[in-house]
Amino acid sequence: MVTAALAIAALLAGAAPAAAERLIASLTNHHVMITSNYTGVELVLFGSVERDAASAARSGSYDIVATVSGPREPLRTRRKQRVLGIWVNTASRTFVDPPSYLAVLANRPLEAITNADNRRKLQLGIADTPLPELINNDIGEVSNDPFRAALVRLMRERGLYSEEANAVTFLTPTLFRASIKLPAQVPVGDYTVDVKLFADGNLVAHTDSAFEIVKVGFEQFVVDAARDHGLLYGLATALMALLTGWIASVAFRRD
């Protein structure tokens, strides 16, 4: 009986058998609404590490790595080249469903938290996140690819990809918080938050959470109308133009 209960507890904790820490995390908000005055938002991730009698004694402190990833959509990276004196897009690579938003938040540099082997295995950090490309109807990873580097760099410049070594703050040795910055241009959709707890360079527990970004009210109405009823939407816009023009001509009539 007792062993069964312990086994279930271990399963619930989702942790390696040797450790018995439990990781609990929650977001301040699970629905981000895009309204007409939306200019980006900041979500806060709160969490705590729960220890019990069975927890192994830790010599060092805990480390947290939280990975937020947004909806996936195919993306093309293009490179310009000079052709007959002008700059033209000549080469391009198609990336198969990379995350449209990727934020890796940690309390100190990933290199200090765990070794390269673990980072690769756990896909920790932007450099170790797989971004498969479409190569002649085949899907594969290309190492040292300038197109991949350009994709990451451009996404970073837009604030869509980020890796921050000081975004997670430990308030007490077991209580932490992290802020997730969502710039205005983040795409709508479902986002996942994967939180990993490390101790002495090893993964000891993990948990996940999710939130969604939705357009609401008028914004959603316009998007739906434009996508699903293109003709009506076009006619309505045209009518609006004629009405505006007519009102102006009446309001400013001089003759």
Partner 1 sequence: MQIFLPIADIPVNVFLVLAMGLAVGFISGMFGVGGGFLMTPLLIFIGVQPAVAVASVTSHVAASSFSGAIAYWRRRAIDVTLALTLLAGGIVGSAGGVALFTWLRALDQLDLMIGLSYVTLLGVVGVLMVGESARAIIRSRLGKPAELRRPGSHVWFHGLPLKLRFKRSKVYVSAIPVLAIGFIIGFLGAVMGIGGGFLLVPMLIYLMRVPTATVIGTSMVLTFLTMVSATVLHATTNHLVDAVLALILMIGGVIGAQFGAHAGQRIRGEWLRLLLGLLVLAVGMRFAFQLVVRPDDLYSIRVIGGGL
Q: Which stretch binds partner 1 (CB under 8 A): 70-78, 106-114, 122-130, 164-172?
A: 70-78
Q: Please name which of 189, 213, 192, 211 lies closest in space to residue 28, comparing C-alpha atoms.
A: 211
Which of these, 68, 71, 98, lies nearest to 192 by C-alpha position? 68
Per CB under 8 A, the list member of 8, 88, 135, 171 interacting with partner 1 is 88
| CA separation for the pair 249, 131 (Å, rounded) | 55
Enter the tokens of residue 136. Answer: 């002649």
Task: Rule CB under 8 A: say whether 230 interacts with partner 1.
Answer: yes
* Interacting positions 158-187 with partner 1 (CB under 8 A): 184-185, 187
Specify the residue, 6 or 223, whose C-beta has the smaller distance to partner 1.
223
| Shortest Cβ 144–partner 1 spacing (Å) | 15
Minimum distance from residue 36 beta carbon to partner 1 (Å): 5
* Chain position carrying tokens 């914004």: 219
Nearer to partner 1 by Cβ, of 109 and 146: the residue is: 146
Per-position x/- string for 12-41, each x denoting binding to partner 1 as judged by CB under 8 A, each - no binding: ----------------------xxxxxxx-
Q: Does 205 participate in binding partner 1 (rule CB under 8 A)?
A: no
Q: Return the ∠ at Cα 168 (arms to 130 and 131), rounded to 5°.
A: 10
Secondary structure (3-state) at 87: strand
Which is nearer to partner 1, 121 or 153 (by Cβ)? Answer: 153
Structure tokens at 168: 């997670």
**Which one, 77 or 114, has the nearer CB to partner 1?**
77
User: If binding is defined by CB under 8 A, does position 214 make contact with partner 1?
Assistant: no
Position 139 contacts partner 1 (CB under 8 A):
no
Q: Which stretch binds partner 1 (CB under 8 A): 22-30, 61-69, 124-132, 244-252?
A: 244-252
85 binds partner 1 (CB under 8 A): yes
- According to DSSP, the β-strands at 161-164 and 102-106 are parallel
DSSP state of 128: T
Q: Is 237 in the site for partner 1 (CB under 8 A)?
A: yes
Q: Please, which contacts does 166-173 make with residues 24 or more away whose CB atoms are closer than 8 Å?
A: 166/107, 166/108, 167/66, 167/103, 167/105, 167/106, 167/107, 168/64, 168/65, 168/66, 168/105, 168/106, 168/107, 169/107, 170/61, 170/62, 170/64, 170/107, 173/61, 173/62
d(CA 105, CA 119): 14
Total residues at the site for partner 1 (CB under 8 A)? 61
Among 54, 112, 116, 238, binds partner 1 (CB under 8 A): 238
Residues that bind partner 1 (CB under 8 A): 34-40, 73-82, 85-89, 92, 94, 100, 147, 150-151, 153-155, 184-185, 187, 215, 218-220, 222-223, 226-227, 230-231, 233-238, 240-242, 244-249, 252, 255
